[in-house]
Chain A
Amino acid sequence: MDAAERTRQRVCRALLDDLDAGYGEVVREYGGVVHSVARALTRSAADAEDLTAEAFLRAYRALAGYPAERIAVLALRPWLLTVLRNTARNAARDAARRPAGPPRYEPTERELDPGPTALDDPADHAERAEAGRGLAALLARLPEAQRTAVVLRHALDLPIAEVAQVLRVGEGTAKSHVSRGLHRLRALVTAAGTEPGPDGEPAHRVLASGRRDR
């Protein structure tokens, strides 16, 4: 049994013991993973925090209606990430219904440079912000499934089977989302590196001449 499964069993036991107190374990254990994916699904750090909280509330509401047998075997991490994606999709739909809403999946200045967080060492932060800002912006140009697949596999190191569960596709399709996403990202990074300008033409040119995506 691997570490992830041991964690899952411990958290599920805590939930069965006391749903509300056990949910503290859920948030402690999976808050980082859910937030990391939320960052890739939103335009700003503040939106990501709201989305993370909203997803955890929706997940709690679902759990409150589940029988104990179902909670005992629930694959918590991919299930939470599925709830997160559904929450993001609903939020996007709501935003689209509102007139003159801004496009959902487009990075803003704030996303590109979210500023130092309390836990960060400033010098360390500056360096990582430099690398991260470009990458987050380029990542935002990927279709949602590819973007999520790349983040799950390469930022969070999830096994491909779990990536497939979150995306609700087979493992083969999940693998192809990861590799197509990575390929596209590599092209974007290369293009962004060869010529200046965060939204410069080169990236688009590389995209257009890149491998055909379905």
Chain B
Amino acid sequence: MTTDDTTTDTTDVDARLLAGLAGLATEAPAGLPDAVFARWVRVPSGLGDVYAAATAHGVQFLRPAGDAGLAGFTAAYRARFARPLVAAPRPPAGLLPALRGRPGRGPALDLTALTGFERAVLDATRRIPAGQARPYGWVAREAGSPGAVRAVGSVLARNPVPLLVPCHRVVRADGALGGYLFGAPEKERLLRAEGMDVDGVADLARRGVRYLASDTTTVVCFPTCRDARRITPRHRHGFGTLDEAVRAGFRPCRTCRPAGAA
């Protein structure tokens, strides 16, 4: 009798154990596809049609549709991010307005594949308003690495999300527009389309003027700063360096921050 009881118990335990184990098989997590796949869209922009790839965290990569087409974009994306890429049912929120040039925060960006310095450079660049330009040195300082001017150029030359991080608004300290990852003519065209007075800035640079100051506000700005553009010719003073302007009694603008955070 005792033996029988034990046998029954053991069989019962086994049956419950196996049933319990069978119950441990589970479905895939609902969020798995979003965690694994990036999704692409083709949308219009100031550079013509572009492809954009976005993860669940935001837009990760953007390139002109150009000649390489979708195959070229997919290959470039795979080489850089190594994540499967499939078509998106609709563009990520905020992407279309941002590419149409609407002011605002723009779409969320996924910059997780970048280093801290790269992210800092892109964050600083993203704060430059439309129609304005800042030198590479300004970006380096805003990114917390004042000495890394050349490195800023390298980072922006690989900008994964041009237009959304407006690297076309970063120019050389001597007033030349400098290079662009899609060519200098595209950079100039984008800046003109945003309303920047490219010729006026070039004229000033030729005369050695890189900062403009107002004797009514006693503030000194970058020439493309919204505040500098309001200065009437009568009250306008040009300077080649910020030091000269400061010695002449002008205070660095708090909007365009020609002297950085200090």
User: Interface of A with B (CB < 8 Å)?
Assistant: 19-21, 23-24, 27-28, 31-36, 39-40, 48-50, 52-53, 56-57, 60-61, 64, 117-119, 128, 131-132, 135-136, 139, 150-151, 154-157, 182, 185-186, 189-190, 193
Interface contact A64-B17, CB-CB below 8 Å? no
Q: Is there an interface contact between B36 and A36, defined as CB atoms closer than 8 Å?
A: no
Q: In whole angstroms, what is the CA distance A40 to B24 when docked?
A: 9
A128 interface neighbour in B23, B36, B78, B86, Cβ under 8 Å: B23
Which residues of chain B come closer than 8 Å to A60, judged between CB atoms?
A: 36, 82-84
Q: Are A64 and B82 in contact (CB under 8 A)?
A: yes
Chain B, residue nearest A58 (CB): B82
Cβ proximity bits B10-51 to A, threshold 8 Å, 1 near / 0 not: 000110111111111111111111011100000000000000
Q: How far is the CB of B161 from chain A (nearest CB, A)?
A: 20
Tell whether, in the assembled complex, residue A190 and residue B13 are in contact, meaning their CB atoms are under 8 Å apart.
yes
Q: How far is the CB of A203 from chain B (nearest CB, A)?
A: 14
B residues whose Cβ falls under 8 Å from a Cβ of A = 13-14, 16-33, 35-37, 74, 78, 82-86
The 6 lowest CB-CB distance pairs between A and B, nearest first, are: A31-B28, A53-B35, A154-B21, A155-B24, A23-B84, A49-B29
Q: Please give, as numbers and ranges, the residues of chain A lying within 8 Å of B78 by CB-CB distance.
A: 20, 64
Contact partner of A135 (CB less than 8 A), chosen from B21, B83, B86, is B21
Query: Which B residues are in CB contact (< 8 Å) with A39?
Result: 24, 26
Pick from A19, A21, A36, A117: contact of B25, CB below 8 A: A36
Per a CB cutoff under 8 Å, which of B13, B20, B26, B84 touches A32?
A: B26
B35–A49 touching, CB < 8 Å: yes
Instruction: Name the one of B21, B28, B86 contacting A20, with C-beta atoms under 8 angstroms.
Output: B86
Which listed residue, A53, A131, A155, A156, touches B36 by the CB 8 Å rule? Answer: A53
Whether A154 touches B18, Cβ cut-off 8 Å, given contacts A32-B27, A52-B29, A131-B23, is yes
Whether the Cβ atoms of A27 and B33 lie closer than 8 Å is yes
Number of interchain pairs (Cβ within 8 Å): 109
- Residues of A contacting B24 in the complex (Cβ-Cβ under 8 angstroms): 36, 39-40, 132, 135-136, 139, 151, 155
Listed by A's residue number, 27 A-B pairs whose Cβ atoms lie within 8 Å are A20-B85, A23-B37, A24-B37, A24-B84, A27-B37, A28-B28, A31-B29, A32-B26, A33-B25, A39-B26, A48-B29, A52-B29, A53-B36, A56-B32, A57-B36, A117-B30, A119-B30, A132-B20, A132-B23, A132-B24, A135-B24, A154-B21, A154-B22, A155-B22, A157-B22, A157-B25, A189-B17
A139 to B23, CA, bound (A): 13
Q: In the docked arrangement, what's the CA distance between A91 and B37, Å? A: 21
A182 touches B29 (CB 8 A): no
For the complex formed, measure the closest distance between the CB of B109 and the CB atoms of chain A, giving whole angstroms: 20
In the assembly, what is the distance between CA of A56 and CA of B18, in Å?
29
Return A37 CB to nearest CB of chain B, in Å.
Answer: 10
CA–CA, A55 and B80, complex, Å: 19
Residues of A within 8 A of B36 (CB): 23, 27, 53, 56-57, 60
CB proximity of B190 to chain A, nearest CB, Å: 31
In the complex, the chain B residue whose C-beta lies closest to that of A55 is B36
**Chain A residues with CB below 8 A from B16, complex form:** 131, 189
CB of B201 to closest CB in A, whole Å: 44
Complex interface: chain A residues within 8 A of B32 (CB): 27, 31, 35, 49, 52-53, 56
Across the interface, do A35 and B13 meet the contact criterion of CB distance under 8 Å?
Answer: no
CB distance from A49 to the nearest CB of B (A): 4
Question: Chain B residues with Cβ under 8 A from A31's Cβ?
Answer: 27-29, 32
CA–CA, A40 to B25, complex, Å?
Answer: 10
Could you tell me the distance in whole angstroms from the C-beta of B195 to the nearest C-beta in chain A? 40
A95 → chain B closest CB, angstroms: 20
Known: A151-B24, A154-B18, A154-B22. A35 touches B29 (CB 8 A): yes
A150 touching B21, Cβ below 8 Å: yes
| CB neighbours of A33 from chain B (8 A) | 25
- Contact (A151, B21) CB under 8 Å given A35-B27, A60-B84, A64-B78: yes
